[in-house]
Structures are given as C-alpha cells and as structure tokens.
Chain A
Amino acid sequence: MSDPIALSAAEAASRVHAGALDPAELFDAYQSRAAADELNAFTWVAEEPPTATAAMAEGPLGGVPLAVKDLFCTRGVPSQAGSRILQGYEPPYTATAVERLEQAGAPLLGKTNQDEFAMGSSNENSGYGPVLNPWDRGRVPGGSSGGSAAAVAAGLAPWALGTDTGGSIRQPASLCGIVGLKPTYGAVSRYGMIAFASSLDQAGPLTRNVTDAALILGQMVGPRDRCDSTSLEFPESIELPTATRLDGAAIGVPEELSGEGIEDGVLRAFEETLHIAERLGATVKRCRLPHAPHALSAYYVLAPAEASSNLARYDGVRYGLREEAETLLEMYTRTRRDGFGAEVKRRIMLGTYALSSGYYEAYYGRAQRVRTKIVEDFRAAFEDFDLVACPTSPTVAFELGARTGDPLAMYMSDVLTVPMSLAGVPALSLPNGMSDGLPTGFQLAGPPFSENRLLDVAFALEQAIDFDAVPARA
C-alpha cells in the first residue's frame, strides 16, 4: 500500500473510515518520524498510541494523530510553553481545544516547540532551542508556532495545533509553505492554553491544505466553553470547502498592507494570486485600513501589558522553576531571572512600564483607542468587501540569527498579521508560491465568523495555484 505519510490528513481519515488504513499503523508511521525529528520541532513525542485508538478511528478525525503546540495543557504530559520556567511541568488537566479534538478522534502525537510563551516570530526564543525550517535548515520556521509549522511542512505530523496572538499561526505557516488559520477571537476555547495576551490569543490549525484545516476546525468550534468566559458559540457548522469559482466574491486589498516594506518576491507572488482570483471570477479592488500602520505599535503595548500580568504567576511557589533564596523577594527575582528568556523579560518590562502609574493613559489607554479604530476600519472594509487580502509575511523565511539582535526588526515580522489580531477577525495564510526557493504566503481575512467563506475562497485559490512544492523529506 502507499506511504501513509504522503496522504493529507483528510485523505488519511477517510481511508481509516473506509477500513483501508489501520490507525495504529498511521500513528506509528508518524510517531517514528516525529521521534527522529532533526528540526527540533518537537519537545515531547508520545511513545505509543493511546489505547483508545480504535474508538478514535470512528470519530470524524479518523484517528489521524495531532501535533500540539507546547503551550496547550495536556494532562500528565510536559506542557512548558517553550519556557525553562515550566521545564517538566505536567498539568493536572487538558485544554478544552485538545480535549475536543481527542474526542473527535485525533490522538496526541507530540508537543511542538515554540517561542517562549508564544513571544517571537522566529522560534529562536524557545527555551529548548530554535526550530529549523525544513526548506532550509539555516533559516527560521517563523513563530511562535514554529514547531507546529515545521512538523507539518516536514511531514512529521499530519496536522498541528497552534496559537496566534499577533500572527503566530499565519506567519510560520507562510514561512513553512503550509496552511494556517487563526479563527475569530472567541471561536475556540482558550481554557488550558497557557496565556500570552488574553484578549488576542486564539487557537487554530496548521495543515497541509485547506480541506484539512476545515476538517479539524469543524471539531474545534461549536458550543461555547463554559470554562472560558470569552468563548462564543459558533453560529454554523464548518463545511468542507468545495468552491472552484469565485464569481461574485469581492476582495479588498488594503493599501497599507500591500506595498511598503514587502520583499519583491513576496509581492510578485501576491499579485499573481490576485490575478488568479480575478480569473476565477472575483473582483479585486484596492481598499483602505487607515489605522493599520499604527496596529503594530498598539499591539506592542497591549500584548506585553497583558503578558506582564499573565506571567506574574510564574513565581516559584506552586510549580515550575524555583531558585531558593533566603528572602521571598530574592526567591522571586532570581526564579524569574533564571526562568525567563531575554525576549520574555523584555516584554514583561515593556508591559509593566506601559501599565505603571503615570504611563497608563499614554500607552495602554491610547493603544486601546487605536484598537477601536482598527476594529472600525475592518468593519468599514467589510461593508464593501467580502474579504481582504494581503501577504502574510513581508519576507520569506530569514536566516537564523538575522534579527535576534534587533527587537524592533523582529517585531516588524508581524506587521501584516497584527491588524487582524487586534480586530479579532478570522484570517488564513495560504501558500501561494516560491521566492528564492522559499515559500510565500497569501493572507485572507474576513468578518467575524466568516470562516466558511474564508475556507471556500482559499480552497478555490489553492486548486488554481496548485502549489505542490514540498521540502525535501528525510
């Protein structure tokens, strides 16, 4: 029989359902690949399939194993959020999103490497070493869900769970040449997701194609989770996409997110995809998101502010790393000195400063108002357009170490993804070409709960683009 690794997740699931593929065999095939991972994509790999594999195979996800970003709590399994301060931490409970997927038939394959507490755009901020890009091991996979993206791109996992706060699913998906979807804020429960910035964090899938993304997203959303006050009931079920034409679809291209600062190769691929969309019947027009140029500034106030508070619980008292000291104060400051990496400290400092007495209004208050304007910008754009489109990342995957010395340059990696995060709208990255031998990404965003539309349009484009490049597989 054919190599199960070559199958997409949806194909594998339907073969399992048809009795043509043994789910235990499928699990073993991926397990041995994940265990032999040379990209440092995994921080933990399951030793054997869960005993319930047979029952799982009957679920909609067909027993197709799932790689899960380290920051999702998984009971009895290390959940370290890429941080040394949580080294070896095994939570007593499992995140709602993971639990729903397990119940739908996706057994846990392993935990994937990430930037520490999801703070980063290159995966170089992991406490467990950087992840290598499977297209070029001298380059970063993007971040913060870099391990999930690299694992899926390299065929170490059929699909993976990531989280996106300012682009952490979409940007690594783009840099690794796979599909990444950040759902509407609130669509997927945050319960059990180790928090970075609560008002922005959102879980979503990283998959080889659009159909896989739809299949798995359908099992992540649904009734609201009573354990997450900000979770929302998804108003409809997620359908597998079927569109081949885009007649009647109006796509807006925000000027602010499609010109300055974007690499030529990325821009060229973007324009080509827009032509394809037009060929398929869509109307493509320029549009405005006037406040988008300020999104990055607002984001780098709001996200660190929330993070500074979310990360206060790592104090050496109840779990995680602790540096013993004679006084409580020293115990705190040394534990946090040794447990957090440089970027996490930088953001804690930035966020603490932005909330501190005398600066709150100038930074946090203003950033919240900018956020209001950005929400309004998107709302206005969606009155004229079904979707907006822009590149996902201004560049293809960059070299390891290229931006580690310059925080601001690293933050600029998020410039095209952060506006959608602030607005809480769903956005998807679709591989749409190659530039200098590295994949580029095409980003589509829609109004809240327009995931079905997003997936359909992305599916039609995917078929037409016919992106079939894959990194060399070990």
Chain B
Amino acid sequence: MIDREQVLHVAQLARLELSEDELERMAHELSGVLDHIERIGELDLDEVAPTSHVVEVENALREDKPRPPLPREVALAAAPLVLQDGFAVPSPQA
C-alpha cells in the first residue's frame, strides 16, 4: 500500500508534477503493483547475498590518456537555451 501523501513525496523526489487525478490514480496503481511485489517478503533471504551484477568482471579500468573533447558547438547543439556559451537554467536560489 502506498498512500496519497507518499506518492506526493516520491513525486517530489523524482521531480514529477502530478495532477490531483494522477496522484489518486498513481496511488491506486502503485498499490496494486506493490501488493504483488511484496510477495518476495515471504522468502527467507537472510543468508543470501545481494546481486548487483551478473557479470563477473572487476577492474575495467581506463588508461589516463586524454582524448579530444567535443567541439563546443556540438556540446551545445541540443541545448534548449544557450547563454554565454553555457547551458542556461533558472537560477537555483531564485
């Protein structure tokens, strides 16, 4: 179960604006999915190590050798708003 307040909090963390309708629907739908998911709570997993990755590799390291960066016009090409050769955003502290 997940209630409306929790949905609102999670939406804030995820930077999603949800309308009142969406909030209600999301709470309902997520609760249904979570009910199903919570069946893994039945398993005894105390002694089981978590798996983050199925590949058994380590140390995929890169040599510290520079490669040419992107030309600035390419880096900025897809930017919604460019000012002073940078990516412009509303100031965070505003």
Q: Do chains A and B touch in the complex (CB under 8 A)?
A: yes
A-side interface residues toward B, CB under 8 Å?
A: 89-90, 92, 185-186, 199, 226, 229-230, 232, 291, 294, 296-298, 300-301, 308, 312, 315-322, 324-334, 336-337, 340, 345-346, 348-350, 352-353, 356, 362-363, 365-373, 375, 407-408, 411, 422-424
Contact with A along B40-57 (1 / 0, CB 8 A): 110101001111111101
Specify which of A327, A330, A353 lies most central, judged by the most chain B CB atoms within 10 Å of its CB: A353
**In contact, B40 and A370 (Cβ under 8 angstroms):** yes
Q: In the complex, what residue of chain B is closest to A362 when comparing beta carbons?
A: B41
* Cβ < 8 Å to A, chain B residues 72-94: 74-75, 77-81, 87, 89-92, 94
Specify which chain B residues have a CB less than 8 angstroms from the CB of A308 in the assembled complex: 14
State the CA gap A69–B4 with chains docked (Å).
Answer: 37
The one of A317, A349, A350, A411 in contact with B16, judged by C-beta atoms closer than 8 angstroms, is: A349
CB pair A366 B41 closer than 8 Å: yes
Task: With both chains docked as a complex, state the minimum distance between the C-beta of B70 and any C-beta of chain A, in angstroms.
Answer: 6
Task: Jot down 5 A-B pairs with beta carbons below 8 A, ordered by A.
Answer: A185-B54, A294-B39, A329-B15, A353-B2, A407-B32
Contacts of A322 in B (CB 8 A): 80-81
With the chains together, A57 CA to B57 CA distance in Å? 36
Q: Do A333 and B53 form a contact, CB below 8 Å, given A318-B87, A320-B78, A408-B32?
A: no
Q: Given contact pairs A297-B37, A366-B43, A408-B32, enumerate 9 new A-B contacts (beta carbons under 8 Å).
A: A297-B39, A317-B80, A322-B80, A329-B15, A345-B26, A353-B34, A370-B45, A372-B50, A423-B54
Residue from B14, B36, B45, B90 within 8 A of A349 (CB atoms): B14
Considering the complex of A and B, which 9 residue pairs feature the smallest CB-CB distances, nearest first? A424-B54, A368-B50, A319-B78, A333-B17, A229-B60, A322-B80, A369-B45, A337-B17, A369-B48
Whether A327 lies near B41 (C-beta < 8 A) is: no
Binary contact readout B6-49 vs A (1 if CB under 8 angstroms, 0 otherwise): 11011101111110001000100110111011111101010011
Query: Could you tell me if A230 and B57 are in contact, using CB atoms closer than 8 angstroms?
Result: yes
- Is A328 in contact with B92, judged by CB distance below 8 angstroms? yes
Task: Please report the C-alpha to C-alpha distance between residue A424 and residue B51 in the assembled complex, in whole angstroms.
Answer: 11
Q: Are A372 and B15 in contact (CB under 8 A)?
A: no
* Distance, CA A198 to CA B91, complexed state (A): 32
- Contacts A336-B15, A340-B16, A375-B51 given; indicate if A294 touches B43 (C-beta within 8 A): yes
Q: Looking across the interface, which residue of chain B has its beta carbon closest to that of A325?
A: B90
- Taking Cβ atoms with an 8 Å cutoff, the residues of B that contact A are 2, 6-7, 9-11, 13-18, 22, 26, 29-30, 32-34, 36-41, 43, 45, 48-55, 57, 60, 62, 70, 74-75, 77-81, 87, 89-92, 94
Q: Are B57 and A350 in contact (CB under 8 A)?
A: no
State whether B33 touches A368 (Cβ < 8 A).
no
Given A318-B78, A328-B94, A340-B16, are A368 and B51 neighbors across the interface (CB < 8 Å)?
yes
Residue of B nearest to A316 (CB): B80
Known contacts being A331-B90, A424-B55, is A366 close to B14, with CB within 8 Å?
no
With contacts A92-B70, A297-B36, A322-B80 taken as known, whether A348 is within 8 angstroms of B14 at the C-beta atoms is: yes
Contacts of A326 in B (CB 8 A): 90, 94
Residue of B nearest to A405 (CB): B29
Residue in A298, A325, A337, A369 whose CB lies within 8 Å of B49: A369
Q: Please state if A89 and B78 are interface contacts (CB–CB under 8 Å).
A: yes
Decide if B16 touches A348 in the complex (CB within 8 Å): yes
Docked pose: A345 CA to B38 CA in angstroms: 21
Nearest Cβ on chain B to A288's Cβ, whole angstroms: 15
B55 in complex: contacting residue of A232, A333, A349, CB < 8 Å: A232
Name the residue of chain B whose CB is nearest to the CB of A293.
B39
Q: Which residues of A contact B94 (CB under 8 A)?
A: 326-328
- In the complex, chain A residues whose CB is within 8 Å of the CB of B62: 226
Shortest distance between the CB of A343 and any CB in chain B (Å): 10
- Say yes or no: B74 contacts A92, CB within 8 Å: yes
A291–B39 Cα gap in the complex (Å)? 12
CA–CA, A423 and B78, complex, Å? 37
B61 and chain A: residue at smallest CB distance: A229
Contacts of A332 in B (CB 8 A): 15
A294 CB contact (under 8 Å) in B40, B49, B79: B40
In Å, the complex CA distance between A103 and B55 comes to 27
Which residues of A lie under 8 Å from residue B2 when comparing CB positions?
353
CB < 8 Å: which of B29, B36, B39, B48 contacts A372?
B48
